[in-house]
Amino acid sequence: MPVLDWTRTNLDFEVSDNSTALRFEADAFAAFELFLLKRPGAEKDYSEAQKKKAEAFFKKSTSEEQKKLIKNIIAGLPGAEEGYSLKEFNAILATYNKVGPKELKANLFSFLAEIIPSAEKAGILMCIHPDDPPFPILGLPRVVSTEQDIVDLYDAVKSPNNGLTFCTGSFGVRADNDLAGMVERLGDRIHFIHLRATKRDADGNFHEADHLEGDVDMYAVLKALVLEQQKRIKSGRQDIRMPFRPDHGHKMLDDLKKKTNPGYSAIGRLRGLAELRGLEVGIRRSL
């Protein structure tokens, strides 16, 4: 994901049980691009209907709401607290003007070709995280969003050390990603698992749902992962442990009073962990 890590427009979206979740709202993001960031050429990426909705969103938003939207999108970078100004952000986006999906994939595959031999010698399993959201934003290319992207990645460097972080939340935002099928077909090189569920709609909006709800069939996904682990055990593989985490939990209960990193408060993820472990035990007992 060039420039930014996962991208959301609302970090405190209230859900039905009064906990809060991360949310991506398409109209808000378009308003940010078109009227706040004013990215050159951004208007080409939106239909007339989308531009009208973005303008309506922008006109009804207050200056404080606009500042918060900017902060939510570009205030922090992965592993750092500092952020960009709008001018700086446009400048760094411009460095990718001549980099499309083809060029970015070529760069990624060249990088992997250089490092995977060293990873093999050191016994390190590399695993790439998919795009979040898994579609183009800000004029930037996306190259780890679909099953075909992963097939291309696997084929580029044919090594078990060149693998995947299987994030059900990222892949699940796209209705055309068959998550359980992806585990069945790509599972032999899945080295890390992020289990979370997202709820999407036809307008391109989505938010983090409860771990066992949303659009991710967590039962089917977890069953496929358990079966993949059993295959590894039977074939004598050494990497039979498949670490996972309950990703992006809701902010709830006492955590609502605390300052936490968005998506990474304790209680919501602990609830998700309990639910996922219970589901896993039920699946294993039924096989």
Which member of 131, 248, 250, 255 is catalytic?
A: 248
Burial class for 239, CB neighbours closer than 10 Å (0-12, 13-18, 19+): middle
Rounded to whole angstroms, the Cα distance separating 79 from 99 reads 24
Which member of 167, 210, 211, 250 is catalytic?
A: 167
Contact of 282 with 267, CB cutoff 8 Å: no
Contact of 43 with 28, CB cutoff 8 Å: no
Rounded to whole angstroms, the Cα distance separating 193 from 207 reads 19
- Count how many residues are written for the chain: 287
| 149 is an active site residue | no
Q: What's the confidence (pLDDT) of residue 74?
A: 86
Give this prediction's pTM: 0.94
Q: What's the confidence (pLDDT) of residue 1?
A: 86
The Cα-based distances of 124 to 120, 160, 186, 192 in angstroms read: 6, 10, 19, 12
Which member of 129, 154, 178, 188 is catalytic?
A: 129
Q: What's the confidence (pLDDT) of residue 76?
A: 52
| 129 is an active site residue | yes
Q: What's the confidence (pLDDT) of residue 257?
A: 94
Contact partners, residue 123, CB within 8 Å, separation at least 6: none
Query: To 10 degrees, the CA torsion angle through 70, 72, 73, 77?
Result: 120
| 154 is an active site residue | no
116-125 CB burial, b ≥16 within 10 A, e <16: beebeeeeeb
Q: What's the confidence (pLDDT) of residue 116?
A: 98
Which member of 131, 132, 149, 247 is catalytic?
A: 247
Q: What's the confidence (pLDDT) of residue 4?
A: 84
206-209 β-sheet, strand order: 10-14, 20-24, 206-209, 197-200
Which member of 191, 194, 211, 250 is catalytic?
A: 194
| 250 is an active site residue | no
Q: What's the confidence (pLDDT) of residue 77?
A: 52
| 247 is an active site residue | yes
Contact of 223 with 183, CB cutoff 8 Å: no
| 248 is an active site residue | yes
pLDDT by 10-residue block (mean), the chain, 287 residues: 89 96 97 97 96 98 96 68 81 94 97 98 97 94 97 98 98 97 98 97 96 97 98 96 95 95 94 98 97
Q: What's the confidence (pLDDT) of residue 2?
A: 85
Q: What's the confidence (pLDDT) of residue 75?
A: 64
Which amino acid appears at position 49 of this protein? A
Q: What's the confidence (pLDDT) of residue 80?
A: 52
